[in-house]
Amino acid sequence: MTELRKDPVADRWVIIAPDRAHRPITTSVTETGDKKGGDPSNCPFCEGFEHLTPSEVFSCRKEGSEANQPGWSLRVVPNKYPALKTEGEPALHKKGLYEKMDGIGYHEVIIESPLHSAEFSTLPVNRVAETFMAARERIRFFKRDDRITFTQFFKNHGARAGASMPHIHSQIIALPIAPKSLSEEIRHAEKKRGDLKRCVYCKIIETEIGIGDRIVFKNSRFVAYAPYAPRFAYELWITPKRHCAGFEYIDDTELSALAEIVKNVMMRINRTLDYPAYNMMLISAPFASPDAGSFHWRLELAPSISRVAGFELGAGMHINTVPPEEAARILREVEL
């Protein structure tokens, strides 16, 4: 049983996925996800243990190597303990005040390298680019499934950031519904576009480059900066310079530039915060969003230094003890 349920007062969806309670939490995941994490001798994400995962749905492999055999640099496999099931129709069931759907969708794992202790800051740029290419290809695949309206690509690195496996990986969840917070941001962006007569995100990038205080690094295609009102200490946003609502439209040149900037800022974060646990989240327009022309995708990076506690959960507001100008200056000044 897996269900999508909507809270009738907070008006938000949750995924109720009891089967996921059976997934193993590898005790060898260290809190911060540093190099000491884990014994690779029985890791299902390591090369040679392909039989321990569901069959791959995408991979980057040496010419001539066979699916689900060694010879790969990246594999995408269905999550063995998925939050959603792929078969069925996402019909809405209403009973009085309560609404639910069967938990239809996809939940996949991107195994980002055969190297157990690899990390974005230590992989070559073209290997980091494979992760984003795989995400693009899977999102394009999900977009062709009429039942799916939204995908969330994300990475949990280190137990403190919610990782249950130490081997380098990220995840994609594809859903028949779009999250409320994203729909609201898009509606807000549409309104701002009306006021400004241009994309508010393009305007922000221009403003930030002009001020400079919150910029950490930029290259030909992307800007990495500490946003004006970050929820977390050392939170960074990586935004494409080209106005584009959906990550699935990223081109190959942008993929390389994105990999370069992600590797660069991860090196800075690791040097500054001593290899912290962190989350990485793609914020990209749902597939069927009427106002998506006003939206502009981004990648968010949030080191797991502070914890989400009662104030954050109650008020939905965050307390951040590191001003973004200070975080950006420290990260900008790191010698690589």
- Token readout for 163 is 């990782």
Smallest distance from the beta carbon of 297 to its own copies, in angstroms?
12
Q: Quote the CA–CA distance of 253 and 172 in Å, as a whole number.
A: 23
234 burial via Cβ count (<10 Å: 0-12, 13-18, 19+): buried
Cβ atoms within 10 A of the Cβ of 212, count? 11
Q: Are 204 and 148 in contact (CB under 8 A)?
A: no
Cβ atoms within 10 A of the Cβ of 258, count? 25
Cβ atoms within 10 A of the Cβ of 27, count? 11
Output 50 or 283, the one with its CB closest to its own copies.
283
Output 72 or 240, the one with its CB closest to its own copies.
240
Helix, strand or coil for residue 217?
Answer: strand
Smallest distance from the beta carbon of 309 to its own copies, in angstroms?
3
Q: Quote the CA–CA distance of 218 and 210 in Å, as a whole number.
A: 13
Quickly list H helices, 245-308.
252-273
Identify the active-site residue in 22, 169, 243, 296. 169
Output 119 or 300, the one with its CB closest to its own copies.
300
- For the chain, how far is it from start to end, CA to CA, in angstroms? 49
272 burial via Cβ count (<10 Å: 0-12, 13-18, 19+): middle
Active site residue 51: no
Output 52 or 211, the one with its CB closest to its own copies.
211
Smallest distance from the beta carbon of 112 to its own copies, in angstroms?
14
Smallest distance from the beta carbon of 244 to its own copies, in angstroms?
15
Output 15 or 334, the one with its CB closest to its own copies.
15
Smallest distance from the beta carbon of 107 to its own copies, in angstroms?
9
- Residue positions annotated with a catalytic role: 169
